[in-house]
């Protein structure tokens, strides 16, 4: 497969890599390029979920820009960029949505065509929504958010006190009270992530700054949010989220919510259905 390797440099000097895949057919959608943003610990070249989406998008005449964010893979070079140190923050960049992975990616994507969109998975979906809600970018015409977790402290507090979330929180408070530096931990509640203490307080703290339910209604362009039926049933980060989004839809008429029956967090076994629903929404939303 032929790709154009691309890279951008963040303001603090860290290089991020990606790859652009050109369309394989004449345009069908009014969309020139879509930027695919991976989740926690992922990268631009190993996602089989993105493979399926990219193949169909290219066949529809849409270019695909697959990129690394500052939270790619599982190592932490200096300056820190690994999932453990990852966070979302405005970069005050002319291409403001580029803050999802450092300034530049949206500029790189928009140069591939006039109509440019974002598609993120998991925490990458949260980043995409956060970016456009806090610093709208006129070059971005749509957002597809696949399984963004609800990082809500108040929701997590509904878990019984013996849960892993409370064990993690109490253990870190105990270490801090003894003057110890708490270690990074791998938590399966509310979702499988590896966070250091500060990252945990940022992502799951009482201020709920990354609870996308609080800002998704501020995204100025059409938004599609999808969830897997299995994760909605069994994972606290997704339980009740599709229902909660109905209140947002009343004020944001260009917001769509879709649950794929039988789908897990990576849509295993139902990817053809997911791809078909994303395509149908793009055709309807970008007319």
Largest separation between any pair of C-alpha atoms in the chain: 64
pLDDT (0 to 100) of residue 114: 73
pLDDT (0 to 100) of residue 13: 77
Tokens for 94, please give them.
């002319």
Instruction: Name the residue range of residue 179's domain.
Output: 153-207
**CATH number where 94 lies:** 3.40.50.1820
Clarify whether residues 77 and 182 are in a common domain. Answer: no
Clarify whether residues 117 and 219 are in a common domain. Answer: yes
Clarify whether residues 53 and 179 are in a common domain. Answer: no
pLDDT (0 to 100) of residue 169: 53
Of the candidates 61, 57, 77, which has an alpha carbon nearest to the alpha carbon of residue 17?
A: 77
| pLDDT tens per residue across span 188-210 | 455 545 544 445 445 666 788 89
| pLDDT tens per residue across span 233-286 | 999 899 999 999 999 998 888 999 999 999 999 999 999 999 999 999 999 999
Clarify whether residues 143 and 58 are in a common domain. Answer: yes
Clarify whether residues 119 and 21 are in a common domain. Answer: yes
Residue 126's H or E segment, with its range, is helix 123-134
42 pLDDT tier (thresholds 50, 70, 90): confident
105 pLDDT tier (thresholds 50, 70, 90): very low
- pLDDT over 90 at 56, yes or no: yes
Residue 98 CA to residue 106 CA, distance in Å, equals 5
Q: CB under 8 Å to 231, separation ≥6 — which residues? A: 147, 237, 238, 263, 264, 265
Phi, psi of 100 (to 5 degrees): -60, -20
Mean pLDDT on 59-63: 95
- Domain boundary among the residues 179, 207, 235 is at 207
pTM above 0.85, yes or no: no
The answer to whether residues 142 and 221 touch, using CB atoms and an 8 Å cutoff, is: yes
Clarify whether residues 138 and 171 are in a common domain. Answer: no
87 pLDDT tier (thresholds 50, 70, 90): very low
Clarify whether residues 190 and 216 are in a common domain. Answer: no
Residue 33 CA to residue 20 CA, distance in Å, equals 9
Clarify whether residues 60 and 185 are in a common domain. Answer: no
Clarify whether residues 203 and 252 are in a common domain. Answer: no
What is the count of structural domains for the chain? Answer: 2
Residue 74 CA to residue 64 CA, distance in Å, equals 24
- Domain boundary among the residues 191, 207, 223 is at 207
Clarify whether residues 235 and 247 are in a common domain. Answer: yes
Clarify whether residues 89 and 188 are in a common domain. Answer: no
Clarify whether residues 140 and 173 are in a common domain. Answer: no
Number of CB atoms found within 10 A of residue 260's CB: 22
Least confident of 12-16, 187-191, 222-226, 264-268: 187-191
Mean pLDDT on 107-130: 79
Mean pLDDT on 4-30: 85
Of the candidates 127, 123, 131, 35, which has an alpha carbon nearest to the alpha carbon of residue 90?
A: 131
């Amino acid at each position: 497969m032929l790709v154009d390797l691309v890279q951008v440099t963040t303001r603090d000097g860290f290089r991020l890599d990606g790859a652009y895949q050109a369309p394989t057919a004449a345009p069908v959608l009014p969309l020139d390029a879509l930027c695919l943003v991976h989740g926690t610990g992922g990268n631009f070249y190993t996602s089989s979920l993105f493979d399926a989406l990219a193949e169909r998008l290219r066949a529809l005449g849409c270019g695909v820009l697959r990129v690394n964010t500052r939270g790619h893979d599982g190592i932490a070079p200096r300056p820190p960029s690994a999932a453990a140190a990852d966070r979302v923050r405005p970069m005050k960049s002319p291409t403001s949505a580029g803050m999802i992975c450092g300034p530049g990616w949206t500029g790189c994507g928009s140069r591939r065509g006039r109509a440019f969109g974002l598609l993120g998975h998991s925490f990458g979906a949260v980043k995409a929504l956060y970016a456009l809600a806090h610093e709208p970018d006129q070059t971005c015409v749509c957002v597809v958010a696949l399984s963004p977790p609800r990082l809500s402290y108040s929701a997590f507090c509904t878990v019984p006190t013996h849960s892993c979330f409370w064990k993690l929180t109490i253990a870190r408070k105990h270490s801090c009270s003894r003057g110890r530096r708490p270690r990074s931990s791998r938590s399966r509640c509310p979702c499988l992530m590896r966070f250091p203490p500060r990252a945990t307080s940022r992502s799951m703290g009482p201020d709920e700054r990354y609870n996308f339910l609080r800002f998704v209604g501020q995204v100025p362009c059409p938004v599609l949010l999808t969830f897997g039926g299995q994760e909605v049933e069994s994972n606290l980060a997704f339980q009740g989220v599709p229902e909660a989004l109905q209140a947002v839809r009343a004020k944001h008429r260009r917001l769509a919510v879709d649950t794929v029956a039988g789908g897990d967090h990576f849509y295993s076994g139902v990817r053809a259905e997911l791809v078909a629903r994303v395509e149908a929404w793009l055709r309807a939303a970008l007319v």
